[in-house]
Amino acid sequence: MKKVKKKKIALGTLLFLFLSFSTLTIMAFQKDSVLMVNTAVGSYTQKGVFHHEGIFSNNSLYKTPQSMEYYPRDITKNISGVYRYSFSPRENVNGNYTLEIITIYYVSKGNEKIVLWDESILKKEGILKNGTASEAVFFNLQVINARSAEIKQTLKIPRLSREVRLVFHTKPSGIIANENILEDFTQSIGLVEDTATGLIYFTNEEKVTRKNIIESKEQQNFLTFLGRSVEVRTGKILFSVLMLFTGIPLFGMVYTAKGKAPKDELKDLRQYIIEGIPNRVDKKIALATKDDLRKAFELLDKPIMHYETGSSEVYTIVDEGVSYEYKELKKDN
């Protein structure tokens, strides 16, 4: 009995260790051995702003020039301004830039814009100085309106629309936080003449872009084992080996125990065996072997009752007051 108990304890211990190391192995293989850690090591900003003011005619209300968000269309002769671009931080930033005023003539077909003519009425080029640029801009509305009438007359399209845009473009480059930077910045500012309200105004007068410089580094990933941190890479090997070391003897013991287990000679009859003691028996006939019990079952076609008495297990078939019994000693568990 002590030997059997020791075997059960050993089997239980191996089973616990095998399941524990199996779980740790699965956890280790579900994690990446190396993590990519991203850190912001720097940042930079690009900004473009257009400041403008109008020059008025036949006006006693506004001083001239004057900066406004909306200009009265019929009294505004010209609009002048300054476009400024800056890159921050400015040190070691270089690049060329272009600034252009473009007039686009088009007609609308549903949601589609069909461009019939476009031309540049101003173009400036330059080099960034410490990451900055500044250019004066002048919109001569009288000249623009006269040119529009000429284009409309030439194309013979009375519903011809016009769009005036101030476009700034640059590709700054430099070194920031030990990283080579090459950017592409474009700002398109629209001059809108609203015939319904009689106002002139600008769109997209200011544009700001910000970007972070990210440094990626590899970092070992860890998991916890017995209160200590273990590298996932090491854990995958260690826990797999320990799982094998505990699994091999465990399955060996199970296989050996299964091989030593006595054959169940009543296996084919188990589904017909019920637990219970016969109520009324007039006569008992002893059966010598399990085969005798099987033959009695086949002949009588009655359920087999099973109960224990003393040190014996009893299998009996009762038919018309006669009990056909087969006894065997209890098996040690």
Q: How far is 187 from 98, CA to CA, in rounded Å?
A: 11
Residues 197 and 252 in one domain: no
Residues 249 and 275 in one domain: no
DSSP letter for 311, please.
T
Residues 213 and 307 in one domain: no
Global pTM reads: 0.61
DSSP letter for 262, please.
P
Domain span at residue 322 reads 267-329
Q: What angle do CA 15, 19, 24 make, to 5 degrees?
A: 150
Residues 111 and 243 in one domain: no
Pair 206, 50: CB distance under 8 Å: yes
CATH number at residue 151: 2.60.40
Q: Which two tokens stand for residue 169?
A: 């473009």
Residues 190 and 227 in one domain: no
Residues 239 and 186 in one domain: no
Place of tokens 């919109």: 139
> What is residue 64's predicted lDDT score, i.e. its pLDDT?
84
Strand order in the sheet with 312-319: 273-275, 304-309, 312-319, 322-329, 283-287
Residues 49 and 27 in one domain: no
Residues 161 and 255 in one domain: no
**Furthest CA-CA distance within the chain:** 137
Residues 173 and 245 in one domain: no
| Per-residue model confidence as pLDDT tens for the chain (333 residues) | 555 567 778 778 878 887 877 888 888 888 888 888 888 888 999 999 999 999 998 777 888 899 999 999 999 999 999 999 999 998 889 999 999 999 999 999 888 999 999 999 999 999 999 999 999 999 999 999 999 999 999 999 888 999 999 999 999 999 888 888 899 999 999 999 998 999 999 999 999 999 998 888 888 888 777 778 888 888 788 888 878 878 787 777 776 766 555 677 788 888 888 888 888 888 888 888 888 888 888 888 888 888 888 888 899 988 888 888 988 887 655
Residues 254 and 155 in one domain: no
Residues 98 and 141 in one domain: yes
Helix (H, G, I), strand (E, B) or coil at 111: coil
Per the structure, how many domains does the chain have?
Answer: 3
Residues 197 and 226 in one domain: no
83 exposure class (CB count in 10 Å sphere: 0-12, 13-18, 19+): buried
